[in-house]
Amino acid sequence: MSRLLKQQQALLPAPAHELAEQMAEAGYKVTQPRLAVLRAAVALDKAFTVHELEQWLLERNESPGIASIFRTVKLLCDLELFQRIHGLEDCHRYSISGGHAHHLICVSCGALKSFDNCGLRDLITTLEQQTGYHINDHVLELFGHCPRCLTV
């Protein structure tokens, strides 16, 4: 098994209670509305929108106010437990982060795989030398079709 595959398997999303724990460690209270958002995000198991979180919760009659959902998503992004997804058309999706930066996203169903070995170091070094820029961050997202959607 290659090193890259091992890494990917290590990047499974954390379960809700683990995310809750990290929130508590960061000094935030693990309230019912926040837990609800965590449960929804874990259950959706893909790149989700705030609207999708709300729908999932409404169907189970446990949706907090929409403001609290937005607030919780923002908080979790700040804590780097969630991450904004840069889509091809819009950037209104989020994922459970796992602390890693990059995603492979199915444009058909939203299924998402995370990875962290983006292999951009050489490109960054080259560009820095050629442009004089100091590069300290990047966005990388890959899009395609997951095996399931390829067979449908």
| CA nearest to 13, candidates 94, 91, 74, 72 | 94
Contacts of 56 (CB under 8 A, 6+ apart): 40, 43, 44
As a residue count, the chain comes to: 152
Q: Out of 92, 99, 144, 150, which residue is the one contacting DNA (CB under 7 A)?
A: 92
When binding is defined by CB under 7 A, the residue of 13, 34, 56, 100 that contacts DNA is 34
Distance of alpha carbon 88 from alpha carbon 91, whole angstroms = 8
**Interaction of residue 87 with DNA, rule CB under 7 A:** no
- How far is 87 from 76, CA to CA, in rounded Å? 19
Part in contact with DNA (CB under 7 A); list of ranges 1-9, 60-68, 123-131, 136-144: 60-68
Q: Does 71 bind DNA (CB under 7 A)?
A: yes
| Binding region for a second copy (CB under 8 A) | 2, 4-5, 8, 86-88, 90-91, 104, 106-107, 113, 115, 117-120, 122-124, 126-128, 130-147, 150
Report the nearest approach of DNA to the CB of residue 42 (Å): 17
User: Using an 8 Å Cβ cutoff, are 134 and 128 in contact?
Assistant: yes
Contact 95, 111 (CB under 8 A): no
Q: List residues binding DNA (CB under 7 A).
A: 28-29, 31-34, 49-51, 64-68, 70-72, 74, 90-92
